[in-house]
Structure 1
Amino acid sequence: MKDSIVLITGASSGIGEACAKVFAKLEAKLILTARTQERLQPIAESLDCEYYLLPFDVRDRAAVDTAIESLPPEWSDIDLLINNAGLSRGLDKFHEADIQDWEEMIDTNIKGLLYMSRKVVPDMVRRGKGYIINIGSTAGHQTYPGGHVYCATKAAVKSITEGLKQDLLGTPIRVSLVDPGLVETNFSNVRFHGDTERAEKVYQGLVPLTPDDVAEVVLFCATRPPHVNLMDIVMMPVDQAPLMLFNRK
């Protein structure tokens, strides 16, 4: 991975931040994206590698286009795209849910991933070199109560990943999907709109995955031989069984 250009969306916290750290250790050159420069800067400064900060919102197609087109020539040949930006909002019953929450999840989890991939993948095909790793979720495999739209977005990520691999057959471009179960990040805090007490209860009494656990799996995918494509990796803590069964002590 030395000197490979790795673009990570949602790099300002959680899994994205953890991915930045593991790839920095291998001396990759990192393009870190998030909505604000202020959140990216301290993370970037803690890394011992070359980096380029690219603040924009993946939900904004024009902003995605402008951001990628603004990359200097020495940063424009992206070797690995990690589509990590994503979120969940709410856990209400379908008929009581906030439609704005639905739109935010759809715009970020599906459309943001599509915009980024559509902008980056053609150049990978042109160069005959590249890898796309999408961060999905076990929620893309089964639906749980209150998860209707979030689970639908992650099922869409699974379908998009499979379709992209099929369409890239015959090229050397690899495509992978990493589907974590319960990971302790700010995910639940975002889902519950800043209700920290409710968010903390999600992880009580069990040992969840950490962002570092997921980042190590992403790194494992990226460092396999060029002829090996790990298509879909489902990972969850020992205290979780598919999908919403937990061993709480």
Structure 2
Amino acid sequence: MSSSLIATAHRLADAARIETLRLFRSPELHPDNKAGHGFDPVTEADRSSERAMRAILAAERPHDAILGEEFGSSPGSSGLTWVLDPIDGTRAFMAGAPSWGVLIGVVGADGPIYGIVDQPHLDERFEGGLGRAALTGRNQNWPLRSRVGVSLSQATLMSTYPEVGTPDEQAAFQRVAARARLTRYGLDCYAYALLAAGHVDLVIEAGLQAYDVAAPIAVVQAAGGIVTDWTGGPAHHGGRIIAAGSPELHAEALELLA
């Protein structure tokens, strides 16, 4: 079963690469705004990427459920759910920045069991779970291992936006940022991939959806890291997320968030 799930996940990632790269940095990209107020962009690349992945799942895994950002939920009977974000970081995609990714997570009764964070433009595929923790790219494989033995005062902290959630959430984030050695912003799912690869030590965010986090959780955990919500509980339903390279660093940051 594991090898079949992994093979299907890679076929989804391959299909999504074709659809996303077709429009990345293209003058034919015309974003729409799906927000009632503000700006929440979606593009044809998002929609075609998710359609391509759903078509493969319909053929190969018809009994599995699906949760996708663009086309919602489809029921299943197997106990497994494929959680898809066809482009995580659509704003970066629009800007021609290579920090976006395709997220493919497989979730069971107790949370994510396998995930892929794929960056098509950089030819980097991070996978974790079911006995795997690896980065594949440029015809080479590298094992993923989060960095350990790092205190908060030595840590690199990342978040997508400087405005982390509500004012109270922002204040909590700043308590951690004030103690970290370096704080950087703007990489969306790529920050979690860099944590799994041992380059980043902490990722803290708020207001996330399940499709934003299922795949990154699997990859980070397979690399030896820890991902929870801000109370230390399960994080795969979204909300407030903290990912850390080690349990010790996680505990140090969690105390400041509480």
Asked if Structure 1 and Structure 2 have the same fold, meaning a TM-score greater than 0.5 normalized by the shorter chain, the answer is: no
Give the TM-score normalised by the residue count of structure 1. 0.28
TM-score, structure 2 as length reference? 0.28
Name the structure with the higher helix share: 1
Higher strand share: 2
**Larger RCO, structures 1/2 (Cα 8 Å, 6+ apart):** 1
